[in-house]
Amino acid sequence: MSTRANINTPEYWNAVYREEWESRRVESSNYHRDYGPIHDAIIQTIPDGSGVLDIACGPGILCRKIKTRVPGAAVMGVDFSSYAIERDWERDRSAGVEYRCLDIRHSLGMIRHQFDVVLMCEIIEHLDDPAPVVREGMNLLKDGGLFIASCPYGDQIPDREHVTEWDHESLFRLLAPYGSAITFTHFPPPYFHVWMLAHLRKAR
């Protein structure tokens, strides 16, 4: 499914996140990785007391929001950027968010327990082959658990970091093996263009 060269490596993202932290953009009110209404829609689906895994958590924005708004949730974020994970730990240790540095492309199996909610937000468009990552994410989800993915919708992706393109049909095909129904929600600009969120309950 990949349509363009993939620059996404741990080294690349270490450099990106270092610049964003050192310039204090991560802490600003208009940080471009804070997907406000999309995050709000996700958090509304998470019951208190849930175990939540955020796959490719980056700077931990969503993890921190979940723990703040759903304080009884046990939240883990994983990412292959060692720099981001170190900074996330420094900022969120007292809040009780757990972070682990691992490469989601081949190391999700290192996680040994299952979760009530698994998130893959703003990540599938960065992967040459997201299907194995989704499969491993589903393995970490309890039967009947909630799986959520979000990504840009449509053919025009104005970002050199994005290597795959997604519409309803392609995202449906990716997720259909795992649930009996998939719900889609659309979000209009001010993001790059139309964004979509899909969620399902893992088949028992």
148's CB contacts (< 8 A; 6+ apart) are 42, 45, 117, 118, 119, 120, 121, 197, 198, 199
The CATH code of the domain that includes 89 is: 3.40.50.150
Q: In this predicted model, what pLDDT tens digit does every residue of 73-90 receive, in sequence order? A: 999 999 999 999 999 999
Residue 158: pLDDT band (50, 70, 90) is: low
* Assigned domain for 109 exists: yes
* Assigned domain for 108 exists: yes
Counted domains in the chain = 1
Average pLDDT over residues 164-185: 94
101's CB contacts (< 8 A; 6+ apart) are 78, 79, 80, 81, 82, 85
d(CA 158, CA 162): 8
Q: In this predicted model, what pLDDT tens digit does every residue of 106-157 receive, in sequence order? A: 999 999 999 999 999 999 999 999 999 999 999 999 999 999 999 988 765 5
- List the single range of 54-58, 158-162, 182-186, 189-193 with lowest mean pLDDT: 189-193
* Assigned domain for 4 exists: no
* Assigned domain for 1 exists: no
* Assigned domain for 2 exists: no
pLDDT for 202 beyond 90? yes
* Assigned domain for 86 exists: yes
Q: pTM score, two decimals?
A: 0.94
**Whole-number pLDDT of residue 140:** 98
| Domain with 33 in it | 10-201
Residue 194: pLDDT band (50, 70, 90) is: confident
pLDDT for 3 beyond 70? no
* Assigned domain for 172 exists: yes
* Assigned domain for 136 exists: yes
